[in-house]
Chains A and B, each alone.
Chain A
Amino acid sequence: MRHVDKTVTGLTIAFAVLFLADFFMAEWVRFIGLQSLARGAVALGLLVLWRTGLVSFGHALYFGIGAYAAAMLTLIGYHDAFFLVFAGTLASGVLAFLLGFLLRRYRAIFFALLNMAFSMILYGVIVKTEELGSTDGFSLHPPTFLGYAPQGEAVQTTLFIFTLVFTYIVTVGVHLYLKTTLGGMSMAVRENEIRVEYLGYSAEKVIHVKYVFSGLVAGFGGAIMALAIGQVDPDSMANWNVSGEFVFITILSGIGNVGATYIGALVFELIRTYAFEYAPQIWQFILGGSLLAIIMFLPDGIWSLVDRLRKSEG
């Protein structure tokens, strides 16, 4: 009998359920869902890097590039979601590929900070560009889908299905990549890079490939986010605290499972939405407090709860 990949099965079931749920979902639930999927994708990119022991404090760079690339294309008359998301993803991937030549030489806190430096350059450029609305950003037309131009609520329903399908493909893709030899090298690189080199693999190459992967998915997340909100602006797309939030989601999810990033993103989004709704004065307080609680009491993220449950069962 062929080996069945539990993660792929789980993902397939989860996304199928969400697909069906789209027809019954309240509008605000769908909106939170869309944002969670977008942020979850970026966290997925961070997870890929984290497996190697690298943390980026600047992934708002790729998120922002993805979002702004998609948004800028709408300015010159392109509105097709397929094209916009593809372009956003590709733009981030290309940038990650180029910066990767430099960044793959760095580890630990230097890697994290160099990423942040690049993301702040993007932030600086956007803030100073009047054509892109400077700090206010600009809003987007509702997207079309291969000639189908939905109106009203149908825009979000269609976008949700569109996002689900592509997130599914991206997530399974990343999962399968992590299971290849190249992907599996990550733990080895994290544990002992020098020995990996002695065995004849190039640690830098492993990291570079990972970096491009993480840039691609982060750009994908950014493009989706731009379409979901219908608006791009530097402070919620490219500033350094946005990068911090992505790392937060990754910690929240734990790095054990690719699907967990979306659960982490959903939890993050819920905390944020409800904190903002019911305690607008102290929503950052609640967000920071939850993060501290996770770090203190659930160091391996939400997914470790699942593992604990499994262990107690048998």
Chain B
Amino acid sequence: MQELIVILVDGLVFSSYLFMVAVGLTVIFGVMKILNVTHGSFYAFGAYMSATLIGAYYKTDWPEFGGFLAIFAAALIVGVFFGIILERGLLRFLYHRDEHIIVLATFAMFLVLEDVLLLIWGTDPYFAFEPMSLLGSVDIVDLTFDVYSLTLIGLAAIVGLGLWLGLTKTKWGKLLLAVIFDREISQAMGINVTVVFTVTFVIGAIMGALGGAYIAPTISVSPGIGVEVIVLAFAVVVIGGMGSIPGAMIGALLVGISRAAAVHKFPEIELFVIYAIMAIVLAVRPEGLFAPAQARKI
């Protein structure tokens, strides 16, 4: 029983983390049909920027809790900057090309940004634990969890709910749904698809950067974090169904809790349990658990 609770809490925290890194990817895929490998760079840049800003913030004698603002500022700066540069500067020239070519172009961009990251921040790890130590820790059935990690669950819920409400209740969201459903017809109806694409990509980028920025205080921010996260995000998005926000949530929960269970029960299978789930789901339901059915065009 005790172990079950630990697995559940651990799993929920990890699921929230997965959801945060996967949701941006799924939004971009849903609207633009682009599998964006650069998402890993958004995450990494978000983490580095957040670590830097937090470090700078705590050198001043401003109120302690303001450090949290630094996290969100980092995500915004990184997301807006890279989102606009990448979409306007690169991707828009490739929309007419084969989908695999676009994936490869984002892979190339990922390689480029990996080195840009090293050039800016070097190879030494960064630590920005202040926001985490500020919140302290709490005991759940004899086990100590840090409160900061638990807030991740709340953040994931807010982001998920916000995106879902924005998509279904606002005018902008409805335009977006129209574009998701049929790009050509929406264009014919007078929706400015170019702007929709840019805005979507920037939102997706901010989400990716926020994932990295928020997780930064709990990890040592070091080279290579982008490579790890990108396959995790892929797995979650593919399991839930590419382009579906509820799907990303279910996928994240499935993967997060199974991984937590594996870590506690069979640590040796921890790494591949994620991909095993992905392979099984794809084998049974290739479009993912939540993807809408597509008409076959002859």
The residues of A with any CB-CB pair to B shorter than 8 Å are 55, 57, 102, 105-106, 108-110, 112-114, 116-118, 120-121, 123-125, 127-128, 192, 194, 239-241, 244, 247-248, 251, 281-285, 287-289, 291-292, 295-296, 299
Residue B159 lies at the interface, judged by CB distance under 8 Å to chain A: no
Would B112 and A117 count as touching, CB distance under 8 A? Answer: no
Chain A residues with CB under 8 A of B293? none
Would B234 and A295 count as touching, CB distance under 8 A? Answer: no
Residue B261 lies at the interface, judged by CB distance under 8 Å to chain A: no
- Partner of B115 from the list A55, A106, A284 (CB cut-off 8 Å) is A284
With CB as the reference atom, state the residue of chain B lying closest to A288: B111
Would B118 and A118 count as touching, CB distance under 8 A? Answer: no
Would B279 and A110 count as touching, CB distance under 8 A? Answer: no
Chain A residues with CB under 8 A of B37? 244
Chain A residues with CB under 8 A of B104? 244, 247-248, 251, 291, 295
Given A108-B99, A128-B268, A251-B101; A120-B275 close (CB under 8 Å): yes
Residue B105 lies at the interface, judged by CB distance under 8 Å to chain A: yes
Chain B 231-247, CB-CB to A under 8 Å as 1, else 0, gives: 10011001000100000
Given A124-B275, A251-B104; A116-B112 close (CB under 8 Å): no
Residue B278 lies at the interface, judged by CB distance under 8 Å to chain A: yes
Would A117 and B238 count as touching, CB distance under 8 A? Answer: yes
Measured CA separation A299–B110 after assembly (Å) = 19
A-B CB contacts (within 8 Å), total count: 124
Measured CA separation A108–B100 after assembly (Å) = 8
With CB as the reference atom, state the residue of chain A lying closest to B276: A121
Chain A residues with CB under 8 A of B101? 251, 295, 299
Q: List 20 A-B contacts (CB under 8 A).
A: A106-B282, A109-B242, A112-B100, A120-B235, A124-B271, A128-B269, A128-B270, A192-B298, A239-B227, A240-B230, A241-B107, A251-B104, A284-B114, A285-B115, A291-B104, A291-B105, A291-B108, A292-B109, A295-B94, A299-B97
- Partner of A288 from the list B112, B270, B283 (CB cut-off 8 Å) is B112
The residues of B with any CB-CB pair to A shorter than 8 Å are 35, 37, 90, 93-94, 97, 99-101, 103-105, 107-116, 118-119, 227, 230-231, 234-235, 238, 242, 268-272, 274-276, 278-279, 282-283, 286-287, 298
Other A-B contacts than A117-B278, A121-B272, 17 sampled, CB-CB below 8 A, are A57-B103, A102-B283, A110-B282, A116-B234, A121-B275, A123-B271, A128-B272, A239-B227, A248-B108, A251-B101, A251-B104, A284-B115, A285-B112, A289-B108, A292-B112, A295-B104, A295-B105
- Partner of A109 from the list B99, B108, B269, B279 (CB cut-off 8 Å) is B99
Most buried by A among B116, B231, B287, B298: B231
- Partner of A240 from the list B97, B119, B231 (CB cut-off 8 Å) is B231
Would A121 and B118 count as touching, CB distance under 8 A? Answer: no
Measured CA separation A192–B100 after assembly (Å) = 18
Measured CA separation A282–B286 after assembly (Å) = 38
Chain B residues with CB under 8 A of A247? 100, 104, 107
